[in-house]
């Protein structure tokens, strides 16, 4: 049977507000798709991607125009509780439905959800003059309307799922939802000799990633344990402060914005990875990409309760502390994660055989 001109093309479009290099790595193993985006993160580098496979940067109006001109089988959009994307989402959903309004099959609209912050709180952090009650009511109403425009919502953490159920309504969410805990599969890269006593930080040198808490905690234990080393990889607003702090600490190495292969090598060597995420206003860490990448390389994890993966980490032998634990508490946690169960195979054995972001994508992009 011939496909009618009004039926969806057997293709996928992914529309992201921002992209980073890790997205490119995932796109390479996800279902083939057209990727449109508005901006990119500090670590974005598409030089390794063939020109014809690179995501296309497009304006708001350009994206809506594209959706009106092209009909897809599946459209992956930003998740519906990201309040900064609400105008974009409303226009994109409307364009998709207008373009497909006269066909036999609806375009499947899906999203991957890891949001862990109440949008009303984030809005009031940005616009402090707004009264709390009306903002809370409006945020829930808008979130509910936008959520109803989606067909499938894949959740990466149970915390995100519960947040949506609380703010949008359990009935609205549950009929669209499936949970895929945001766990990686073991990385298939070559194994390096793991360095006992090596702690690794990867991420932005910023307050919300807990870099100052880490430095203060390290100073609590460095004089008592000369066998420990710390590697700090990243860049950001506190880079000069971090570099100056490390200058007279020979056991500390700072690497500014290295290429991805070097980051992978550092993760294969480290005994543990640390990310002490801190709340900033209403913002909370969704998952923390360094955490999932560290797990995939067999590293033990030290994190705060702010990450959406905190319950899983605590249940599987990793170390989770409160964000406000203090320098002495961070020092004790560093020793606990480095002196705890050995990294490597014991960590990898707890991971699924299939990366759960890819499992979510398979479910999200079904057209049946």
Using the predicted structure, report yes or no on whether residue 341 has a pLDDT greater than 50: yes
Alpha-carbon distance 360 to 45, whole Å? 25
pLDDT over threshold 70, residue 247: yes
pLDDT for residue 85:
95
273 and 309 in a single domain? The answer is: yes
Q: Residue 3 falls within a domain, yes or no?
A: no
Indicate the number of domains in the chain.
2
Inform me whether the pLDDT recorded for 80 exceeds 50.
yes
Instruction: Check whether residue 215 and residue 162 sit in a common domain.
Output: no
Residues 157 and 244 in one domain: no
Q: Are both 282 and 152 inside the same structural domain?
A: no
Phi, psi at 2, each rounded to 5°: -75, 145
Vertex 111: Cα angle to 205 and 235 (nearest 5): 10
Asked whether residue 8 carries a pLDDT value surpassing 50, the answer given is: no
For residue 75 the two structure tokens come to 């459209």
Residue 189 lies in a domain: no
**Calpha distance 53→35 (Å, rounded):** 9
Asked whether the predicted pLDDT for residue 102 surpasses 60, the reply is no
Look at residue 339 and tell me if it is in a domain: yes
Burial class (CB in 10 A: 0-12, 13-18, 19+), 59: exposed
Q: Pull the structure tokens for residue 262.
A: 């070097």
pLDDT-derived band at 7 (thresholds 50, 70, 90) equals very low
| pLDDT tens per residue across span 146-189 | 999 999 999 999 999 999 999 999 999 999 999 999 999 999 87
221 with 340, same domain: the answer is yes
Domain, as residue range, for 275: 195-348
**Beta pairing class for 9-19 and 34-40:** parallel
Q: Is residue 262 part of a domain?
A: yes
Residue 115 reports pLDDT greater than 80: yes
Evaluate whether residue 39 is within a structural domain.
yes
Do 27 and 148 share a domain, yes or no? yes
The two structure tokens encoding residue 174? 């549950």
268 shares its domain with 328: yes
127 lies in some domain: yes
Whether residue 135 has pLDDT greater than 90: yes
74 and 210 assigned to the same domain:
no
152 and 204 in a single domain? The answer is no
Residues 160, 333, 211, 266, CA torsion sign: negative
Q: Are residues 173 and 199 in the same domain?
A: no
Mean pLDDT of the 99-114 span: 83
Q: Is residue 188 part of a domain?
A: no
User: Across the chain, what does the average pLDDT equal?
Assistant: 91
Within a domain: 234: yes
pLDDT band at 5 (very low <50, low <70, confident <90, very high): very low
User: So what's the pLDDT on residue 6?
Assistant: 40
The answer to whether residues 119 and 246 belong to one domain is no
pLDDT tops 70 at residue 2: no
What CATH number should be reported for the domain holding residue 297? 3.40.50.2000
Question: Is residue 214 located within the same domain as residue 116?
Answer: no
């Amino acid at each position: 049977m011939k496909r009618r001109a009004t039926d969806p093309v057997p293709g996928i479009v992914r529309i992201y507000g921002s992209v980073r290099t890790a997205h490119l790595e995932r796109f390479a193993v996800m279902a083939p798709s057209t990727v449109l985006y508005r901006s990119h993160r500090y670590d974005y580098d598409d030089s390794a991607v063939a020109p014809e496979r690179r995501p296309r940067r497009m304006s708001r109006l350009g994206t809506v125009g594209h959706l009106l001109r092209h009909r897809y089988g599946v459209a992956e959009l930003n998740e519906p509780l990201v309040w900064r994307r609400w105008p974009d989402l409303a226009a994109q959903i409307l364009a998709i439905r207008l373009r497909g309004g006269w066909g036999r099959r609806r375009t499947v609209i899906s999203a991957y959800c890891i949001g862990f912050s109440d949008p009303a709180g984030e809005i009031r952090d940005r616009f402090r003059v707004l009264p709390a009650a009306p903002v809370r009511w409006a945020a829930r109403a808008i979130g509910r309307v936008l959520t109803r425009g989606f067909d499938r919502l894949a959740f990466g953490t149970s915390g995100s799922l519960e947040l949506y159920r609380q703010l949008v309504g359990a009935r609205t969410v549950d009929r669209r939802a499936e949970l895929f805990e945001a766990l990686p599969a073991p990385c298939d890269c070559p194994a390096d000799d793991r360095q006992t006593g090596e702690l690794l930080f990867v991420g932005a040198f910023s307050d919300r990633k807990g870099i100052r808490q880490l430095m203060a905690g390290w100073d609590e234990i460095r004089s008592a344990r000369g066998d420990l080393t710390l590697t700090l990889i990243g860049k950001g607003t506190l880079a000069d402060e971090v570099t100056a702090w490390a200058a007279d600490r020979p056991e500390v190495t700072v690497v500014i914005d290295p290429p991805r292969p070097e980051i992978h090598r550092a993760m294969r060597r480290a005994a543990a990875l640390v990310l002490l995420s801190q709340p900033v206003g209403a913002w909370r860490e969704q998952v923390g990409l360094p955490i999932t990448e560290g797990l995939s390389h067999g590293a033990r994890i030290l994190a705060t309760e702010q990450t959406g993966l905190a319950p899983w980490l605590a249940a599987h032998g990793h170390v989770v502390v409160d964000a406000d634990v203090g320098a002495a508490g961070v020092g004790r946690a560093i020793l606990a994660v480095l002196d705890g169960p050995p990294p490597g195979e014991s960590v990898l054995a707890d991971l699924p055989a299939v990366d759960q972001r890819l499992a979510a994508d398979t479910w999200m992009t079904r057209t049946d």
